Amino acid sequence: MSAATLPHAPVAATTVALRGRELVKSFRSGKLDTPILRGLSLDVSVGELTLISGPSGCGKSTLLALLSGLSRPDSGEVLALDESLWALDARELERFRLRHTGFVFQGFNLFGALDAVEQVMLPLGALGLSKAEARERALVALDEVGLSARSGLRPGEMSGGEKQRVSIARALAKQPQLLFADEPTSALDASNGQTVIDLLHRLARKHRAAVLCVSHDPRVVEHADRVLHMEDGRLLDDIRRPAAQGSA
């Protein structure tokens, strides 16, 4: 198999890739502890776009940080691909995120001096790919997000929607089993926002990833396979939407 091939893992859609158990998190301001997550538990499955919705300050982004290994819970456990994240030391955790996770953020996180191909290649060297292999895989990923003709452009020459598609291509090129997206459409107009939603859904369905997205965007709600509604650090609703609502 070519290094650039983006394989589709033969995993059943019901496979649970990510589990959070009794997650508790507070933030301290002076002598006051403010609870953010209050014993929250959830599972996230392969092949689905799962949305976490809820009002500002309810703990959505904090939950995403805990589940992705970016922030440690005060108590509770995160099992990602059957690995207990917070039993890993710092180096092991960094290696796990590098090998198995992708991230898409509101702010794109692109480097101004690099063109689109270089942006996508950036994490691939750390995975042990040669420069030629990394470039080939980056071009495949950019083609999948519809940016083959824009691959030589730098961020200053791209629209917001194009920047976010580069960000998705960068995650896609790593072939992640887990993808975390934090408000990926909030800075985009309707057309570009819909394109990003379709790409996230395709990443879940076609590439067999577990995609967990935090968003206020009602367009994401309409196309998510599953919607988890949070308030005050707890999950209130867990709604699975009909398959026909999602993007192919």
Domains and CATH numbers, the chain: 44-69+98-245 (3.40.50.300)
CA count, 13 A, side-chain hemisphere, 70: 11
DSSP string of 226-241, one letter each residue: EEEEEETTEEEEEEEP
| More confident of the two residues 244 and 128 | 128
**Could you tell me the pTM of the whole model?**
0.88
Check pLDDT > 70 for residue 58: yes
**Most distant CA pair in the chain: distance in Å?**
57
CB-based contacts of 213, cutoff 8 Å, min separation 6:
49, 50, 51, 52, 180, 181, 182, 184, 200, 220, 224
Could you give the residue ranges of the DSSP H alpha helices within the chain? 60-67, 90-100, 116-121, 131-144, 160-173, 190-206, 218-223
Average pLDDT over residues 104-127: 92
Q: What is the mean pLDDT of the segment spanning 112-121?
A: 96
* Token couple for 61: 């982004």
159-180: average pLDDT: 94
Q: Is the pLDDT of residue 34 over 50?
A: yes
Measured distance CA(83)–CA(100) in Å, rounded? 11
Backbone angles phi and psi of 154, in degrees to 5: -95, 165
Tens of pLDDT along 151-166? 999 999 999 999 999 9
pLDDT at residue 243, rounded to an integer: 57
Write the pLDDT tens digit of every residue in 200-241: 999 999 999 999 999 988 888 888 999 999 999 999 999 987
CB atoms within 10 A of CB 90: 7
In this predicted structure, the answer to whether residue 4 has a pLDDT above a threshold of 70 is no
Q: Is the pLDDT of residue 66 over 80?
A: yes
At residue 7, the pLDDT reads 45
Would the CA dihedral through 11, 105, 18, 122 be positive or negative?
Answer: positive
